[in-house]
Structure 1
Amino acid sequence: MKKLYTISLLLCMQLCIFSLSTNAQEDESAPKSEAEIAKELSNPNTTLGTMAFPIDYIHYNGDLPGASSQNGFLLNFQPSLPIPLSEGVNLFVRPLIPIYLSQPVFGDNGFENKGVNLGNISADVAVGKTWPSKTITIVGVFGGFPTATNKQLRSKFTTVGPEFMVAQMFNWGVLGVMFNHAWSVNSYTPEDDVVLAATPDQYWISTANKQTASVTAGQYFYVVNLKNAWQITGQPTFAYNHKAEKGSRFTFPVGTGVNKVTRFGKLPVKLSVQYWYYLARPDAFGPQHQVRVQIAPVIPLPW
């Protein structure tokens, strides 16, 4: 049943992107160049709509037996359809829907790989503003939900908290950082279990009758514009889990990659590949290397 649910979700995503791409091909307005689109997409407060599909390969490491030979594959779907409120001010509602294609989980018999499963969905609602100085600020609310179809991959907590981003636009590109903090709205009473998973909000070791979550996370990002719609870019995500045990709290990668905007027919698509190396990760089990390939069709806004 859970596999049918996940496959149905994938089909809905494909139908959505097909419908929007058809609308894009029917748009008779003068098209922007690939370089212009690439530059606009580097703006965190852009009014361009995208349907992003980040695909991650993750190689793990850690102190647990067999940790260094574990790999995972993750497909995400993140639509972004900004709603203009006024000149330079936009509303963003951005869900992030993860689908585990393969994910190692440590249990009584060591590591085992879970097949295709829906992950824990998160979303943010935020308002962005571009200032005359070309500084951009975004303020909003972030939430995470225990929606994974496999119990061992499911977060025990529903979380919510504030989100803040600041970025500066330059002639050569953009540089910025985003932070959010999530507190659990519920508590969990563990049954002497140990959970080791890939996402920071899922890692804890039971030391008390009730557990809660408190995670500070974020992303630093940069884009350097090159010729012919090419860009050098990096968007690594980091996290600090305040409730995890010492040695398992901080996850921090460094990374870089390239973007390229091209067209498939009349549909502009941003293609991206990045490599992240984790300078800090949970000692027992955590990501060491990550390769992210992203396909993001640029679609017309429905309003």
Structure 2
Amino acid sequence: MARSWMVELLRAALFLCAVTLPAQDAPASSAPSGHAVSAQAATSGVNDLAKATQNPVASLISVPFQNNSNFAVGPYNRTQDVLNIQPVIPARISDKWMLISRIIQPIVWQPTASAPTGGEYGFGDMNPTFFLSPAKPGKVIWGAGPAMVFPTATSTSLGQGKLSFGPSLVVLVQPGHWTLGFLTNNVWSVAGSSHRPFVNQLLLQYFITYNLKKGWNINSGPIITANWHDKASGDAADGDDTTPGGKWTIPFGGGIGRVTRFGPQPVNLSANFYGNAVHPPNASSWGMRLQIALLYPRKPRG
């Protein structure tokens, strides 16, 4: 079932690209002068929207459906699949400040790593984050606030079973065609099942995007994680690739994206591939990320 999500997402992305390319790429010289001006304005709007989608604290409501396929899990080379539904909603709370709510709800297919068949499918732990950000940022755009993990998983193999809290920070700049920045948080468990391990986990995502013409971009946004509570010294004796102080997953890679329209609806499409240079034993060595995001621009007040 999880793989069908990935297939449908890919089909939808290809379909959206197919139906929008002719309209977006029509030469201006084939239209009357007034239409040419409108097309130029539309292109400028798409480019501005593209940069807004790369800013986690922009005045833009977005509803991404992000499918992550993690390949080569366990000795039987199985595939884990995680569909993240992660709406981002900004709210102006004063003339100087905005509050951006970012909620991630995973739907997970977790294969049984020690067997060639079987696994669990259901909801993972919900991860809300709230950023307080200047309503009129300068050259350096930033937001800070709490990150949380709620134990909403429908199976013990799909979540941590702990309520966790911690700080989160996002910082970025957007000079010219570029978007450069990072998002990070660290959460610690404060409640939950006493039979589940304590949580002390770092997440760091750096993002680099170069914007091309007509809403296209080349991008990289790997997500680095570290489990600080992992008993790395004990595991190292078993020959795994962890280092003292945490069990790391360090991916590298990138892909392409495009902001375009499906009829009147702006959408952000992207496809990325990542290899894990460092990962826990029996974890995925490489993966694919496909995303379709519905975009709802909001015109900022004065």
When the two structures are superposed, what TM-score results if normalisation uses the length of structure 2?
A: 0.75
The yes-or-no answer on 1:165 pairing with 2:170 is yes
Distance 1:256 1:145 in 2: 30
Q: 1:271 to 1:87 in 2, by over 3 A?
A: farther
Query: Which residue of 1 is the match for residue 150 of structure 2?
Result: 145
The yes-or-no answer on 1:83 pairing with 2:91 is yes
Query: Which residue of 2 is the match for residue 125 of structure 1?
Result: 130
Secondary structure of the 2:198 match is coil
Spell out, residue by residue over 1:141-170, the C-alpha distance to the aligned partner (whole angstroms, 9 max, x if none): 001121111222231211100011221221
Whether contact under 8 Å (2:198, 2:229) holds in the other structure is yes
Whether contact under 8 Å (1:186, 1:212) holds in the other structure is no
Query: Which residue of 1 is the match for residue 111 of structure 2?
Result: 104
Q: 1:242 aligns with which of 228, 243, 255?
A: 228
Distance 2:118 2:292 in 1: 26
Q: 1:80 to 1:133 in 2, by over 3 A?
A: closer
Q: 1:151 to 1:294 in 2, by over 3 A?
A: same
Whether contact under 8 Å (1:275, 1:291) holds in the other structure is yes
Spell out, residue by residue over 1:61-106, the C-alpha distance to the aligned partner (whole angstroms, 9 max, x if none): 45xx43xx11122211011111124567421111101111x32134
Distance 1:57 1:76 in 2: 11
Deviation at 1:43, TM superposition (A): 2.5
Matched residue count: 248
Whether contact under 8 Å (2:71, 2:286) holds in the other structure is yes
Spell out, residue by residue over 1:106-150, the C-alpha distance to the aligned partner (whole angstroms, 9 max, x if none): 46xx46432531111111011123776510111110011211112
Q: 1:129 to 1:302 in 2, by over 3 A?
A: closer
Secondary structure of the 2:162 match is coil
Query: Which residue of 2 is the match for residue 252 of structure 1?
Result: 250
Distance 1:34 1:128 in 2: 24
Q: Equivalent residues in 2 for 1:136-285 (5 A)?
A: 136-186=141-191, 188-190=193-195, 211-246=197-232, 247-248=241-242, 249-283=247-281, 285=282
Spell out, residue by residue over 1:245-290, the C-alpha distance to the aligned partner (whole angstroms, 9 max, x if none): 324511111121111011111111111111111111102x212111
Query: Which residue of 1 is the match for residue 287 of structure 2?
Result: 290
RMSD: 2.6
What's the % identity of the aligned pairs? 28
Distance 1:111 1:128 in 2: 47
Deviation at 1:218, TM superposition (A): 1.6
Whether contact under 8 Å (1:95, 1:123) holds in the other structure is yes
When the two structures are superposed, what TM-score results if normalisation uses the length of structure 1?
A: 0.74
Q: 1:187 to 1:58 in 2, by over 3 A?
A: same
Tell which structure's C-alpha radius of gyration is larger.
2
The AA in structure 2 aligned to 1:238 is: I
Where do 5+ consecutive residues of structure 1 fail to align? 4-29, 191-209
Q: 1:301 to 1:227 in 2, by over 3 A?
A: closer
Distance 1:144 1:98 in 2: 12
The AA in structure 1 aligned to 2:152 is: T
Whether contact under 8 Å (2:143, 2:170) holds in the other structure is yes
Higher share in helix: 2
